[in-house]
Structure 1
């Protein structure tokens, strides 16, 4: 466990290089074209590249017994001339990926039908930075019994919808030949990731289909581009979502249970996104592999997803003060008991009323649903801690110092003040305020925009009262 944990936390900084099949399985070697048939058309660059790796993970029978072991059978790009430290970092990353592509364990049998699944996992670096694995698990082309394989894209960028579209393109090419995937991914790798609201277009040639133009557009509001709230809304009531949010705000232990990998990863990403503008900094595993199930025994905060097949193992584990969420049944199997009393009552009712009102309409886009679900929670933070910038005193050199006591006393509502006194002690708030102390001005963004709107509304209301 310690060795595996160190691999997952290892530094993952890697250089670019050539692509190619994994040397683990030379029989699946794919000849790469000397020049790419695809290139990025003029785009609005956002800076970073789309991805670091595309790997294919297949199930290979172990030498002893009937069990299977997930193994990387294709890797793009294939890196060469790495320094020793860089090579070790690459090996740590590549050794961790198969485990998360097949978190179900190694008891598999050949199948003739398998409903494809799209899910994601997160690898955390020693410095707290994260890499996301976007996965598509499916059956290879064919008619007889066969084992599923996973296409996994590793990226530093959180944008689930956009990478789902990329995986659609990879899957389409996978039906033809592995060799057709390479030029598409090479073109994507040469393209810069678009800025919010902008589009990058790839020119792609597919045998028997001709040239296609593939447009990849990044959402204008980037703070929700990595999440889709639909699964969470389908599985749980508004009241339950608010209680999960309350538990997360106080950095408690939360376990999500579901059958499907897609549901599990989408719901846990959605729950974490409710904390915006704060970021969950503790253990965060959207789909826990079987080998890491003892994570649920950790004494420190965590937010993890576990497949329902491991329910008994979870229930038999020694756990204290955990919220265990059954996404299949829409119930809490375990809870602390005070989840409904954590948030100030009036603000909790405001969230509930807003969710009930905003989500009534049918036929909404995912972006509209995301905005309407996230909005009430952002407003909660605006009302409780949105005045933080006024309580950062700055020295002549610009370094800020947060005045915690004055900040809490500024709240006139006793229930709000009682909540905030607890919240300021969390790592969520501490990391946020540390960044604010370093910055001379509040960072421009969605949260700051909502703070300014709220302050303007209060000012107008006050002036109206004078009239």
Structure 2
């Protein structure tokens, strides 16, 4: 099982501390190693604090701290805790890429393709645009978009429902880049 840490696919894996010497021998790249017992990083990438925009990082930390408070309440069941964590990450990704559907353009072959540059530039925050520039090159984002490009229109999962709700709550000024792009489509 320890060999999975060499995989290029993102995983969250728990290992016993007795496996640490073997882990150090493996050719691992881009892996964070966290000692949960002592609450510290054993191996970092050194860019953890600079990649994620500070506001999103603070919001995610806040909701996860709330989850931690729920976990310390002995009377709570595991299910609500899982829901809080899941909802935190859904909301996190909705705020980062929830506007993707506005930039899926139909092609001649009845498929859809993401207008990548317009998608990235539609975000008003410079720090979030920089994050998207990096994030859009990951396998995670590529798989996410590929699935949506190939999906039939009208099919909506939880993420799409939450993304639509999020887009509807934004003031029109916050979507200025998005609106300029959409208005430009009618003129071409």
Q: 2:43 aligns with which of 334, 354, 359?
A: 334
Is 1:365 aligned to residue 77 of structure 2?
yes
In the TM superposition, 1:308-457 aligns within 5 A as 308-357=17-66, 359-361=68-70, 362=73, 363-441=75-153, 443-457=155-169
- Aligned residue for 1:166? none
What does the per-residue CA deviation read over 1:240-288, in whole Å, with 9 as the maximum and x for residues that have no partner? xxxxxxxxxxxxxxxxxxxxxxxxxxxxxxxxxxxxxxxxxxxxxxx43
What does the per-residue CA deviation read over 1:341-381, in whole Å, with 9 as the maximum and x for residues that have no partner? 22110111111122224553433222211111122221111
Larger Cα Rg: Structure 1 or Structure 2? 1
SS in 1 for 2:45: coil
Following the alignment from structure 1 to structure 2, what is the Cα–Cα distance between the partners of residues 396 and 317? 47
Aligned length: 170
In the TM superposition, 1:219-234 aligns within 5 A as none
Q: More strand per residue: 1 or 2?
A: 1
Aligned pair in 2 of structure 1 residues 439, 316: CA closer, same or farther (>3 Å)? closer
Aligned pair in 2 of structure 1 residues 430, 316: CA closer, same or farther (>3 Å)? closer
Following the alignment from structure 2 to structure 1, what is the Cα–Cα distance between the partners of residues 114 and 63? 32
CA contact (8 A) 1:393 1:400 kept: yes
Q: More helix per residue: 1 or 2?
A: 2
CA contact (8 A) 1:423 1:429 kept: yes
TM-score by length of 2: 0.77
Aligned pair in 2 of structure 1 residues 366, 305: CA closer, same or farther (>3 Å)? closer
Following the alignment from structure 1 to structure 2, what is the Cα–Cα distance between the partners of residues 357 and 331? 20
Greater RCO (Cα-Cα under 8 Å, separation 6 or more): 2
RMSD of Structure 2 on Structure 1 (CA)? 2.6
TM-score by length of 1: 0.33
Aligned pair in 2 of structure 1 residues 332, 397: CA closer, same or farther (>3 Å)? same
Following the alignment from structure 2 to structure 1, what is the Cα–Cα distance between the partners of residues 47 and 124? 24
CA contact (8 A) 1:436 1:442 kept: no
Structure 1: unaligned runs, 5 residues or longer:
1-286, 463-467
Q: CA deviation at 1:301?
A: 5.2
In the TM superposition, 1:195-210 aligns within 5 A as none
What does the per-residue CA deviation read over 1:209-268, in whole Å, with 9 as the maximum and x for residues that have no partner? xxxxxxxxxxxxxxxxxxxxxxxxxxxxxxxxxxxxxxxxxxxxxxxxxxxxxxxxxxxx
